[in-house]
Chain A
């Protein structure tokens, strides 16, 4: 049984322009799981993640990372956004982007040095992007950009990895490579939270799952709760696990 809680969400309500997109969500994510968040478009998956990272402010509720607010724990968390919030025209290379992942542990004023550069190169190698290290980031394909952002998260050496649809626009080989890296992270005791759209691969990739559609429908181990009932409740139409294959 997993006992320590990595992320605890209590009574969370988030609204954009006074219209709630997350209603009273309670969620406990145990340490060391590889968890998928699933739900239809507009279900509030990205919003939930952004609330965990203190990027959007909730109108009610609290979020704790290992028992403390995010502000005290930001070094424990690495984030791969859905569609890079970055300025693609910025004069910077893939290696440089990965190096930025080390800025957090460096703190203010200190500059990245040899150690950081070595870590960044290793991370690029891990995601198979070493040969593109000097490429300007706008000249990478969508899947390649995604891998650079994964590498950037890796060098943050966090305890929790949060990723918004890392498989979007990525080919099958890359998807396998990424999921292997995520499984490796879990093996070394990290907690990984992934927004995921491909229901078919949930049982194969993940051991934990949260169903979300404005409200939390269910959360727990894939074995226990990945079933017709929860799929139907989340997606509205009659879903059968057996039909996914």
Chain B
């Protein structure tokens, strides 16, 4: 790898982590759309800042642009508070207006400004290493690495200091307020971090990748864990994986780096959405199926316990009386046999001792509404699950 390649990947990884942190809270607050809005409506701030400073990495420009990001949030909330439209509508009203102001400003001054809408939206990570930070004649590395590095450092410090406050104000605003933590301060603090990160990252990676990095990795992490700290770590991890993998896909296909990273993130999300062990689509369907069979098994065992007469315990009776399809009757029967809960003698089914204990215990738990106990009991009795 050349040093430029390493620098590009380093920048992409740092951007990924800097985005994953505020992104996690945005996703949990169901505010994913607002990051999209911020990423577009910072444009007028960037343009005005650029006219004033002529430097895309100037701290003044970053502050000015971050300010237009916060202005977006304030405007959205103001419109929403009137009660006339919903939040998504308010977002849809605000950010195109601000974005188009930015576009008009650029068009009006296109002649003498090196700044175009494409660059703002898509960025060009490949060029990031060319813009160097020179202090006293010494080369200190790419400028955008410094900018985003400092932003990440500040974000991390804030996260460590205010983790508990962020958590409680996201989980339960009312409790946060009654315990003396101002949810309003936390809200605007988070919005400020999100805006500053977006602005700091846009020059290197473009607005669209910023949104993808803020939303996709936390959304994946959300599907994998029940713990906020782990969610932050996993989200950062996925961000980094997406950044590095995306870089090499771009290298291999000779395509846009930002575009490749976004695509990789999309593919990763799809895989996790399908295969996540707890909340993934496949495991959810599998669990539903299993519980369905197990409920039928219980119904069947209950029936056996309630009826001593042979006619009620004949195999064919399963089809007729309990009214099950052949397939279902067969799978229930198989499951009961595999778990040694029944014996079949001359087409007559009888409960074994184990089957009897299981059934009585299960009834007991069902009556007292102890679903946790039932799951625990299944683990105890079942050799094979449904």
User: Interface residues, chain A, CB within 8 Å of chain B?
Assistant: 53-55, 74-75, 77, 79, 81, 84-87, 89-93, 97, 100, 103-104, 106-112, 131-132, 136, 141, 152, 156, 171
7 contacts between A and B (CB under 8 A): A85-B175, A86-B175, A87-B170, A91-B226, A100-B172, A108-B165, A109-B165
What is the total number of residues of chain B having a CB less than 8 Å from a CB of chain A?
A: 30
A81 touching B231, Cβ below 8 Å: no
- Residue from the list B164, B170, B231 in contact with A103, Cβ < 8 A: B164
Other-chain contact of B178, A74, A84, A136, A171 (Cβ < 8 Å): A74
Cα A131 to Cα B162 in complex, Å, equals 30
Complex contacts, B175 vs chain A, CB 8 Å: 79, 85-86, 100, 152
CA distance A103 to B172 in the complex (A): 12
Q: Which A residues are CB-close (under 8 A) to B28?
A: 87, 89-91
A87 cross-chain contacts in B, Cβ below 8 A: 28-29, 170-172
Contact of A136 with B372 at beta-carbon distance under 8 Å, contacts A92-B171, A112-B164 already known: no
CB within 8 Å: A-B pair count: 83
Question: Is A84 a contact partner of B226 (Cβ separation < 8 A)?
Answer: no
| A141 neighbours in B (Cβ, 8 Å) | 369, 371
If over half of A's interface residues share one DSSP class (helix, strand or loop), that class is named, otherwise mixed; here it is: loop
Please name the residue on chain B nearest to A80 by beta carbon: B175
B161: nearest chain-A partner, CB-CB: A109
Q: Is the interface of B mostly helix, strand, loop or mixed?
A: helix
CA distance A106 to B176 in the complex (A): 13
- With both beta carbons as reference points, the residue of chain A lying nearest to B376 in the complex is identified as A131
Closest chain B residue to A81 by CB distance?
B174
A91-B231, A92-B228 known; A53 vs B181 contact (CB < 8 Å): no
Bound-state CA distance A85–B174 (Å) is 7
Interface residues of B in 138-168 (CB under 8 A from A): 161-165, 167-168
Extra inter-chain contacts (6) besides given A86-B172, A92-B227, A152-B175, CB under 8 Å: A55-B174, A55-B177, A86-B175, A103-B181, A110-B164, A141-B369
Given contacts A92-B226, A136-B226, contact A106 B164 (CB under 8 A): yes
Given A90-B28, A108-B165, A74 and B179 touching (CB < 8 A)?
yes
- A81 to B231 CA separation, bound complex (whole angstroms): 27
B164 contact from A89, A111, A156, Cβ within 8 A: A111
Contacts of A77 in B (CB 8 A): 178
Which residues 361-375 of B have a CB within 8 angstroms of A?
369, 371-372
Chain A residues with Cβ below 8 Å from B227 are 91-93
Q: What are the residues of chain A within 8 A of B161 when measuring CB–CB?
A: 109
Residues of chain A lying within 8 A (CB to CB) of residue B170: 87, 90
Confirm or deny: B173 has a beta carbon within 8 angstroms of a beta carbon on chain A.
yes
